[in-house]
Amino acid sequence: MQSEACKSLEKQGYQFFSKKSSAALKPCMWNKRALLGGDMCYKHQFYGISSHRCVQMTPTLKCNQRCLFCWRSMEYEVEEDEECPPEIILKRMHALQKKSLAGYNWILDSSTATEELWKEALSPDMIAISLSGEPTLYSRLPELIDLLNEKGHTTFLVSNGTRPDMIARCHPYQTYISLDAPDRKTYLKICRPENDFWDEIQKSLLLLKDRRSAIRTTVVAGYNDFGAEEYAKMYQDSFADFIEVKGYMFVGHSRQRLLQENMPEHEYVRDFALEISKYCDYDIIDENPVSRVVCMGRL
């Protein structure tokens, strides 16, 4: 992997599974917050996931889009010498997660995690394939998910939906597809894909009805916060179990592409979801103002 990109990411806390691949993990802030006995992420509220037992990882950091709202750096494009085999990812996962959380080890510093939380964190039960990059660009994704499932993990796959062929072959516990535009023109402007993948994303959405699934829409004020009827139609046709309408967060490298004013308040996100709900059978079933996200379910 390109060394500049690698060094920069390591400084940000990424742990790589192998030297030549970009497969990596990085605990999110909610994982650490939960370890300290604090709040958990909205996925705990919506889906019962324990944040301190969650591994946030990706089998590749490569991506075929350059979304304006993405927190990743696009300064260095990731180049991989080889893919990391699924069995290596599985074998090294616990050790890398432990290394990432070492500062929270209650034996070293009892003012941080309790022994109970620390022990639970060392035995993660949830794998979120959602760190950064597009996981469906990893050729052995179906195999990796099967292996994780076999080991008893709950698997969440988060994809930009550009590879419906790969989505069809993957069987995670829950599949997330991003839908960040009401129409093709807006998609090309906000997601800046390598090629026009709008039709592929539509195909991926139609795969959701036969599985436990969610669509995530990141609302960027002034960019994709219109077209409620169009969003509603795509949600309706997908039969996804859940729709997450989430406000863009002004964090990471996205700050070089967008402005603070593009980050909508929770009420704005909620109102937009309510507007969408007028045109489909989905309605708000839960919400988390801290993460500026509402969860819609089909009524």
242-247, strands of its sheet edge to edge: 15-16, 24-25, 54-58, 126-129, 154-159, 174-178, 213-219, 242-247, 293-298, 282-288
* 70 forms part of the interface with ligand SF4 (CB under 6 A): yes
Query: In the complex with ligand SF4, which residue's Cβ is closer, 96 or 137?
Result: 137
Smallest separation (angstroms) from ligand SF4 to the CB of 4 = 19
Rounded distance, CA 45 to CA 226, Å? 28
Smallest separation (angstroms) from ligand SF4 to the CB of 133 = 5
Applying CB under 6 A, which of residues 22, 31, 97, 132 lies at the interface with ligand SF4?
132
Query: In the complex with ligand SF4, which residue's Cβ is closer, 68 or 117?
Result: 68
Rounded distance, CA 129 to CA 138, Å? 11
Applying CB under 6 A, which of residues 33, 40, 45, 66 lies at the interface with ligand SF4?
66
- Collect all residues with Cβ–Cβ distance below 8 Å to 284 and sequence separation of at least 6: 270, 273, 274, 277, 294, 295, 296
- Collect all residues with Cβ–Cβ distance below 8 Å to 160 and sequence separation of at least 6: 63, 64, 65, 67, 134, 136, 177, 178, 191, 197, 201
Rounded distance, CA 30 to CA 293, Å? 15
Name the one range near ligand SF4 by CB under 6 A: 113-121, 132-140, 205-213, 228-236.
132-140
* 270 forms part of the interface with ligand SF4 (CB under 6 A): no
Smallest separation (angstroms) from ligand SF4 to the CB of 119 = 32
Rounded distance, CA 299 to CA 285, Å? 9
Q: What is the CA radius of gyration of the chain?
A: 19
Smallest separation (angstroms) from ligand SF4 to the CB of 109 = 34
* 160 forms part of the interface with ligand SF4 (CB under 6 A): yes
* 257 forms part of the interface with ligand SF4 (CB under 6 A): no
Size of the site for ligand SF4 (CB under 6 A): 10
Structure tokens given for 257: 């592409």
* 67 forms part of the interface with ligand SF4 (CB under 6 A): yes
* 63 forms part of the interface with ligand SF4 (CB under 6 A): yes
* DSSP-based three-state secondary structure for 99: helix
Name the one range near ligand SF4 by CB under 6 A: 91-99, 127-135, 195-203, 291-299.
127-135
Rounded distance, CA 150 to CA 172, Å? 11
Query: In the complex with ligand SF4, which residue's Cβ is closer, 34 or 200?
Result: 200
Length of the chain (residues): 299
Applying CB under 6 A, which of residues 26, 52, 53, 72 lies at the interface with ligand SF4?
72
* 117 forms part of the interface with ligand SF4 (CB under 6 A): no
- Collect all residues with Cβ–Cβ distance below 8 Å to 287 and sequence separation of at least 6: 266, 270, 293, 294, 295
Per-residue binder mask for ligand SF4 (CB under 6 A), 211-240, x = binder: ------------------------------
Report the interface residues with ligand SF4, using CB under 6 A: 63, 65-67, 70, 72, 132-134, 160
